[in-house]
Amino acid sequence: MKTKIFLCASLMLGLSLASCNDDDNYFISTDPVIDQSSVTTGSSDVTANSATLHGTVEGLADKSAAFYSVGFYYGEDQNSLTNRIDGVLDKNVVTATVDGLETGKTYYYQVFVSLKGQVSFQGEVKSFVTTSATVVTDNVQTVDFASATMGGAVTEAPEGATVGVVISADPDVEKVRAGLIVPAAEQAAAFSVEKSGFVPGTKYYYAAYLDLGAGVIYGDVKEFTTDAKTFDADADFVDLGLSVKWAKSNFGAKSESDFGGLFGFGDLSGVNTSYLPEDYASGDIYRTKQDLAWNVTGGVGTLPSYQDYEELFAKCTAEWTEVEGVAGYRLTGPNGNSIFLPAAGTRTVSDISSQGTAGYYATGSVNNGDFYYAYQFSLSNRARASLPVYQAAAVRAISTARNIPFDKTKLYGKWYMENGQDGKLHVFEGPFTQFGVTDNWNTITNNHPNVEQQIGWEMGTNNGWIGYTYGKDYGYMEFLEDGTVSIHRIAEDGTVTDETGHYTIDEKNVVLNIDIDILCGNTWLANKSGSLKILALDNDGLRIAIPDGDYGYAVNYYSERKLEFDDAIPVNFQCVGGDWNGEWGAICDRIDAEKLEGKHTVTYNGTVNGAMVFNIDFQNLVAKYPTAIVYINDIRCDGKSIKFDANRFFYGDIEDNGNYRIELFNIWGKGQQGGKVVGSPFSAATNLESEPAFQVSSELEIDYTINLSPAYYTPGLITINPSWGGDWTGPNDGSFTVVVDENSKIAASKKNFVITLNSTDHADGSIMTFVNTEQLYKDFPGTHMTLTSLELDGNAVTGWDSAKVLNSDDGDKHRLELWNTYGITASSGCAFGTPVQSGGEMKIVELGFSNSMSVGFTVDRLFPIVEW
């Protein structure tokens, strides 16, 4: 008796049947064949009395036709398909035509495959209606980077039938017919649909359809390609003051309120309608070639992580609002910039839900293979979500990219290896950095993600195995504008050689072509000349990559410009008396760059008989630090502090030479007219040719402060009601920093403020009303502000005594005090009314309001007025 081993399962373990002939034993083979998922019933093409049926069977491409049979079961009862017709299999597609059908009747069908007559699989049951109706696909009417208008024409369409188009990124006819369904608004003989949410520079395939309810008729397949779109790291992204920038709109959108496309996990088209997990990504796609954002933006952006969304909602002010009738969240960052996230909904296959009420936004992170992380929000909720990979979500890109153009002129000059030869590291962390061989200008300088390699090892100063001795001077190389390069080499043994070569720059690809070895110590790396990528170049630093296998070792250089910049700042002192004796200009101090910030003292030993010219110059300080300010804290003549009015000094780049000058007294300077100083900083005298009040017998000491990046100060309006209700931070009208103004005075960058506080809790008056400015009193204790206006509930308050609105302090805070039951106005009197007892405090009823208080004030000066 012949033994036959039948496969009882669906061969899902990759087993197949094989035999020498039909009667021989069947045995288990490890060749992969098919299972139930390999068989799919497809579409149908019908006429009034015939139908051509389609299906797919995967896995038989290399099998003999004698091994299997394919075809369709069909009939009028979906539960009893008693008719069979054999089909033809061509490239996984099964086709068969059934003739002699009754017009206007519904039929059911399913594809089948039989293996040697022993194992059979059937696809799902579908239906068609025999009809004389037809549908024709029109050519695409309009197309741009995100949308297209498609359509078709139908004849003899019955009432109640619907029309539209189906769209796929795959040209296969069955894939198109199983693609994204976009219905037309109404049935018409000629119809069109406009669909947005496409990916730029992508080819799509579409067909018109006529849905009869029990069957669908399709037109022929046509195609279009969306326009390309260039994404700009600045123009298309918004800096919210967070760790990443956020795109202005969703992918597939043309404005911030457009929903855009909905994308399954790893779907690069926005039209994938499969619900099979294997048709989507199964691992993290962030910063990979399956990262939709990276693909669409040309490497400028990436998909966010859910942590990026959590930061977005945690650090921004989130307001549920509508933009152009579309609901969503307006997110305003710490710096005041904002983006809008529309409630774009979600899609499964072709069914879109929650659009206008909830947002589902994709990340690039998988959550166990069949699910991925997304961020979901609605009016009442916002949180991380886990979605099936086939559930499509909106995509909003993030970016850390920059737009730094390559400027070859910055290469001209001398460059030194960052090798600590002068005891300092000027730009980089050492002479070499290990990157990937695929890294380039954009991935290193402009911070574009490198999806092929993620290599970035700062090798520091202790990795001499690559070929250098840290601390040794290896010389320099100098690039000239005429294409000549001179290299002054100092070998490990001290031998000095000078070489001259030539170079060109491929500006498009940012590549240096050089015919001699670059300066690189005694490294064993071989490719030191030829075509070498420039990874970074600015006024201070240069990185040139030496390729070695999978790596690109950047040789790190600092410029002669940077070397000079890092040198100490010379302090030039001029102090000449009315007798023309004194110091006409000498370097009295040099301040190391790393010690610039903070307080310093300059000392002059000599005699000054009445100041005539008195200047201090900080050479190149403005050229190096354009926002720096320097001001005087104390002046001691022969050990004794003297009075001075710092408001009468002049400051900044007075001679337009990059130096920062403090002009204390100068008959030829900013504060003179006709060779006379108009108002002396050292006395009440005016129109002086010299200042007799300024006398030094032996020693002059000046304490001063250098502030390279002045802080920003934010005045806040605080008012506290008799029940101690109120905001102790208060609203504000922006911030100011400290600058040298157009008159060469140190002043506030913004001088005029109007702050409005809205509240319904202050009708009973105020026990405290003042403007607080954090840190200002500590930095500038002489600051003076003046109240200019007061409105309560929109009505101007007049007749108040400005002398009773006082400048004071609260620790490090400067305070402009209108009233404070515990402050200086409690003893000097209130400008706005008479205090009334309220519990343990005194209140000013006249400072009460029902809805709003607006306080206007100016920042007049930062230094005190001196009483002579």
Distance CA 174, CA 197 (A): 22
Hey, what are 83's tokens? 């008719």
368: pLDDT confidence band, cut at 50, 70 and 90? Answer: confident
Does one domain contain both 546 and 575? Answer: no
Asked whether residue 89 carries a pLDDT value surpassing 60, the answer given is yes
Domain annotation covers residue 603: yes
Q: 427 and 540 in contact (C-beta within 8 Å)?
A: yes
Hey, what are 709's tokens? 């990046």
Which 3 state secondary structure label does DSSP give 84? strand
19: pLDDT confidence band, cut at 50, 70 and 90? Answer: very low
The pLDDT value given to residue 4: 28
Does one domain contain both 69 and 29? Answer: yes
The pLDDT value given to residue 677: 96
Whole-angstrom CA distances from 226 to 143, 203, 232 are: 6, 7, 19
The pLDDT value given to residue 422: 87
Backbone angles phi, psi at 408, to 5 degrees: -65, -20
pTM for the model stands at 0.63
CATH number at residue 25: 2.60.40.380
Domain annotation covers residue 548: yes
The mean pLDDT value of the chain amounts to: 93
Does one domain contain both 757 and 845? Answer: yes
Asked whether residue 6 carries a pLDDT value surpassing 50, the answer given is no
Q: For the residues 523-552, what does the mean pLDDT come to?
A: 96
Please give the distance of CA 664 from its chain centroid, rounded to a whole number: 46
Backbone angles phi, psi at 201, to 5 degrees: 60, 35
Q: 740 and 651 in contact (C-beta within 8 Å)?
A: yes
Of 687, 707, 727, the last residue of a domain is: 707
Domain annotation covers residue 254: yes
Q: Where are the strands (E) in 649-690, listed by range? A: 650-652, 660-666, 672-673, 676-679, 686-688
Distance CA 252, CA 247 (A): 12
Judge residue 374's burial from the number of C-beta atoms within 10 Å of its C-beta, 0-12 exposed, 13-18 middle, 19 or more buried.
buried
Hey, what are 40's tokens? 């799919």
The pLDDT value given to residue 133: 95
Of 399, 422, 451, the last residue of a domain is: 399
Q: Where are the strands (E) in 708-750, listed by range? A: 715-720, 738-740, 746-748
Tell me how crowded residue 830 is: count the other CB atoms within 10 A of its CB.
Answer: 24
The pLDDT value given to residue 32: 47
Q: For the residues 812-818, what does the mean pLDDT come to?
A: 98
Distance CA 666, CA 688 (A): 10
The pLDDT value given to residue 67: 87
User: Pairing relation of β-strands 68-75 and 106-115?
Assistant: antiparallel
The pLDDT value given to residue 30: 43
Q: For the residues 335-347, what does the mean pLDDT come to?
A: 97
Does one domain contain both 786 and 751? Answer: yes
pLDDT tens for residues 113-160? 999 878 899 999 999 999 999 999 999 999 999 999 999 999 999 999
Rg (alpha carbons) of the chain, rounded to whole number? 40
Asked whether residue 21 carries a pLDDT value surpassing 90, the answer given is no
Domain annotation covers residue 3: no
Helices (H), 787-848: 825-828
Whole-angstrom CA distances from 547 to 207, 437, 461, 555 are: 50, 6, 20, 11
Closest CA to 402 of 450, 449, 448, 446: 446
pLDDT tens for residues 734-792? 999 999 999 999 999 999 999 999 999 999 999 999 999 999 999 999 999 999 999 99
The pLDDT value given to residue 723: 96
Closest CA to 659 of 681, 630, 632, 633: 630
Q: For the residues 368-373, what does the mean pLDDT come to?
A: 90
Asked whether residue 502 carries a pLDDT value surpassing 60, the answer given is yes
Q: How many domains does the chain have?
A: 6
Domain annotation covers residue 1: no
Q: For the residues 231-259, what does the mean pLDDT come to?
A: 96
423: pLDDT confidence band, cut at 50, 70 and 90? Answer: confident
Q: 341 and 320 in contact (C-beta within 8 Å)?
A: no
The pLDDT value given to residue 781: 96
pLDDT tens for residues 840-860? 999 999 999 999 999 999 999
Does one domain contain both 515 and 431? Answer: yes
Asked whether residue 203 carries a pLDDT value surpassing 90, the answer given is yes
Does one domain contain both 414 and 502? Answer: yes
Closest CA to 708 of 616, 594, 566, 784: 594
The pLDDT value given to residue 689: 94
Q: For the residues 278-289, what does the mean pLDDT come to?
A: 92
The pLDDT value given to residue 416: 98
Domain annotation covers residue 773: yes
Of 73, 95, 129, the last residue of a domain is: 129
Q: 378 and 393 in contact (C-beta within 8 Å)?
A: no
Q: What is the DSSP letter of 395?
A: -
Strand partners, 382: 377
Q: What is the DSSP letter of 213?
A: S
Q: What is the DSSP letter of 482?
A: T
pLDDT tens for residues 553-609? 999 999 998 988 788 899 999 999 999 999 999 888 889 888 999 999 999 999 999
Does one domain contain both 310 and 257? Answer: yes
84: pLDDT confidence band, cut at 50, 70 and 90? Answer: very high
Asked whether residue 352 carries a pLDDT value surpassing 70, the answer given is yes
Q: For the residues 396-423, what does the mean pLDDT come to?
A: 95
Asked whether residue 225 carries a pLDDT value surpassing 70, the answer given is yes
Q: For the residues 234-241, what does the mean pLDDT come to?
A: 96
Distance CA 533, CA 531 (A): 7
Q: For the residues 39-44, what does the mean pLDDT come to?
A: 95
Domain annotation covers residue 302: yes
23: pLDDT confidence band, cut at 50, 70 and 90? Answer: very low
Distance CA 318, CA 322 (A): 13
Asked whether residue 336 carries a pLDDT value surpassing 70, the answer given is yes
Distance CA 533, CA 547 (A): 9
CATH number at residue 181: 2.60.40.10
Q: 429 and 259 in contact (C-beta within 8 Å)?
A: no
29: pLDDT confidence band, cut at 50, 70 and 90? Answer: very low
Asked whether residue 5 carries a pLDDT value surpassing 60, the answer given is no
Q: For the residues 477-490, what does the mean pLDDT come to?
A: 98
Does one domain contain both 184 and 213? Answer: yes
The answer for 360, left when phi > 0, alpha when psi is -120 to 50, beta otherwise, is: beta
Q: 430 and 471 in contact (C-beta within 8 Å)?
A: no
Percent of the chain with pLDDT over 70: 96
Q: Which of 3-7, 280-284, 540-544 has the lowest mean pLDDT?
A: 3-7
Distance CA 120, CA 108 (A): 19
Does one domain contain both 214 and 194? Answer: yes
167: pLDDT confidence band, cut at 50, 70 and 90? Answer: very high
Does one domain contain both 384 and 457? Answer: no
Domain annotation covers residue 700: yes
Does one domain contain both 574 and 595? Answer: yes
Q: For the residues 461-486, what does the mean pLDDT come to?
A: 96
Range of the domain at 638: 567-707
The pLDDT value given to residue 664: 96
CATH number at residue 447: 2.40.128.280
Closest CA to 847 of 786, 774, 807, 787: 787
Does one domain contain both 350 and 481? Answer: no
369: pLDDT confidence band, cut at 50, 70 and 90? Answer: confident
